[in-house]
Amino acid sequence: MMYFGDHMTGWGWVFMGLGSVLFWAALIIGIVVLVRHLNGSNPLGPSNRPSAEEVLAQRFAHGEIDEAEYRQRLAVLADRP
């Protein structure tokens, strides 16, 4: 296909070089993603989400809820299984 007789044309070398670079880049990216997944260092994972109590405390600190509502909701959270 990219051969002229028994020699490769200039475009054959270009496509072969690009294919090789893309192959190695995909392989390296795949390994990095796999290692990050196995280590659990996913920045979008649930480990970075604050707990319900932390969210409630932040809302109270920002003045979105008053003390009575804060204590009521905190008691509800404490009663959950």
The token pair at 25 is 């880049």
In this predicted structure, what is the pLDDT of residue 69?
A: 94
In this predicted structure, what is the pLDDT of residue 59?
A: 94
In this predicted structure, what is the pLDDT of residue 43?
A: 56
Among 70, 45, 48, residue whose Cα is nearest residue 57: 70
Query: Is pTM, for the whole model, over 0.85?
Result: no
In this predicted structure, what is the pLDDT of residue 38?
A: 86
The token pair at 72 is 């009521």
In this predicted structure, what is the pLDDT of residue 1?
A: 52
For 36, 40, 41, 51, the CA distances from 44, given in Å and listed in that order, are: 12, 10, 9, 15
Which parts of the chain register pLDDT below 50?
none
Residue with the two structure tokens 């270009």 = 14
In this predicted structure, what is the pLDDT of residue 22?
A: 97
